[in-house]
């Protein structure tokens, strides 16, 4: 990397910008995400030479070119496989995987679920625009049923993936959602992701203004955002609305929206607990369409977090034990193991 700063000098967002021309469509939500990543990294106290961005294929996967860190632009759906090898061999690095809904949930879906269950200490940023952008607008694994485009001219009949529910089902240890058009919340989410020890999975709603413009406007526009979104915080009641005049309570195991002006207090409401896997699974299903009779707002924030051993720590422990028991044995002997047989 060029222009290395002296040891101990404070980095700024400018230090994470490259000299590459950014080749995204004007107005793309990727610009906002890039800017916020460049804004938060200096505050994390990480050295640029210890940061690696790994990407697959897609519009989002150009990300490494625009970050003045180390980076790897890999192949379609295989960014997580490459990140596994990198983190296992260099556990000291801060590894970030940038991927899209097509890259990670279609051709890369198998890698995603196994990466989540293994729990390497890596940050996954999933840009979800509910469309294939780089290949010009085909429907993706997160496109809603009925999506009309070049590959589904009569409307998609596929039921879409719910990325948060998928990550929970794969036993992810940190699962959150944010959006490109809320810089403050995006920065907070990036910070939480980096602080987590283990795999962090951050879904980012990202507008593709060319092939799927407005997919998330109901959650981002000022006229509808307060009524259609709920920002969950650990230990806080589920309140939303312009004046926090609406809440969500549990009627048995069924969430329902109540009007706080009808005599309800915060004590009557669902209190968010980031460690509650069962309630996180319910939150993930707040996925209905606006206008439904029992419509629920779309949640943003940390759905679930738990702490468990990371893959690379357990791997290193096994390596240490193997070398300890074998003494100065060479690597070939270790690979051969104790069980051998002779073919006659």
125 Cβ partners below 8 Å, 6+ apart? 33, 37, 60, 96, 97, 98, 99, 193, 202, 204
Question: What are the boundaries of each domain within the chain?
Answer: 13-215
Architecture per CATH, 13-215? 3-Layer(aba) Sandwich (3.40)
Per-block average pLDDT, block size 10, for the chain (344 residues)? 58 97 96 98 95 96 97 96 97 98 94 98 97 90 92 94 97 98 98 98 97 94 95 98 96 93 96 98 82 82 98 93 73 74 83
Q: What one-character DSSP code corresponds to residue 15?
A: G
CA distances from 272 to 23, 236, 250, 268 (A): 40, 6, 12, 12
Our CA dihedral for 207, 208, 209, 210, rounded to 10 degrees, sits at -170
Q: What is the pLDDT of residue 289?
A: 59
Q: What is the pLDDT of residue 212?
A: 94
- What residue has token string 């999975």? 201
Q: What is the pLDDT of residue 325?
A: 73
Q: What is the pLDDT of residue 2?
A: 47
Q: What is the pLDDT of residue 8?
A: 60
Contact assessment for residue 197 and residue 307, using Cβ atoms and an 8 Å cutoff:
yes
Q: Strand order of the sheet with strand 239-240?
A: 239-240, 246-251, 254-259
Task: State phi, psi for 64 to the nearest 5 degrees.
Answer: -60, -30
Handedness of CA 184, 186, 191, 196 (dihedral sign): positive
Structure tokens at 344: 């006659």
């Amino acid at each position: 990397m060029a222009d290395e700063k002296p040891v101990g000098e404070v980095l700024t967002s400018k230090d994470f910008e490259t000299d590459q021309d950014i080749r995204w469509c004007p107005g793309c939500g990727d610009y906002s995400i890039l800017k916020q990543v460049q804004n938060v990294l200096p505050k994390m106290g990480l050295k640029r030479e210890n940061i690696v961005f790994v990407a697959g294929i897609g519009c989002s996967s150009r990300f490494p070119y625009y970050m003045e860190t180390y980076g790897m632009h890999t192949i379609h759906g295989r960014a997580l496989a490459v990140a596994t090898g990198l983190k296992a061999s260099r556990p000291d690095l801060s590894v970030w995987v940038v991927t899209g809904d097509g890259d990670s949930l279609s051709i890369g879906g198998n890698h995603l679920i196994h990466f989540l269950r293994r729990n390497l200490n890596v940050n996954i940023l999933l840009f979800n625009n509910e469309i294939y952008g780089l290949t010009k607008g085909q429907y993706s694994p997160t496109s809603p049923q009925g999506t009309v485009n070049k590959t589904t001219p009569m409307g998609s009949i596929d039921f879409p993936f719910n990325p948060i529910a998928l990550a929970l089902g794969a036993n992810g240890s940190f699962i959150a959602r944010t959006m490109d058009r809320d810089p403050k919340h995006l920065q907070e989410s990036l910070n939480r992701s980096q602080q987590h020890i283990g795999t962090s999975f951050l879904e980012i709603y990202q507008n593709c203004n060319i092939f799927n413009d407005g997919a998330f406007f109901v959650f981002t526009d000022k006229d509808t955002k307060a009524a259609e979104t709920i920002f969950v915080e650990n230990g806080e009641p589920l309140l939303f609305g312009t004046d926090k005049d609406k809440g969500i309570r549990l009627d048995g195991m069924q969430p329902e929206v109540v009007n706080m002006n009808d005599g309800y207090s915060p004590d009557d409401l669902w209190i968010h607990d980031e460690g509650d896997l069962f309630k996180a699974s319910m939150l993930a299903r707040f996925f209905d369409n606006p206008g439904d009779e029992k419509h629920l707002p779309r949640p943003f924030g940390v759905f679930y977090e738990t702490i468990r051993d990371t893959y690379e720590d357990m791997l290193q422990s096994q390596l240490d034990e193997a070398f300890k028991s074998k003494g100065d044995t060479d690597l070939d002997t270790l690979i051969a193991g104790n069980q051998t047989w002779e073919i006659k």
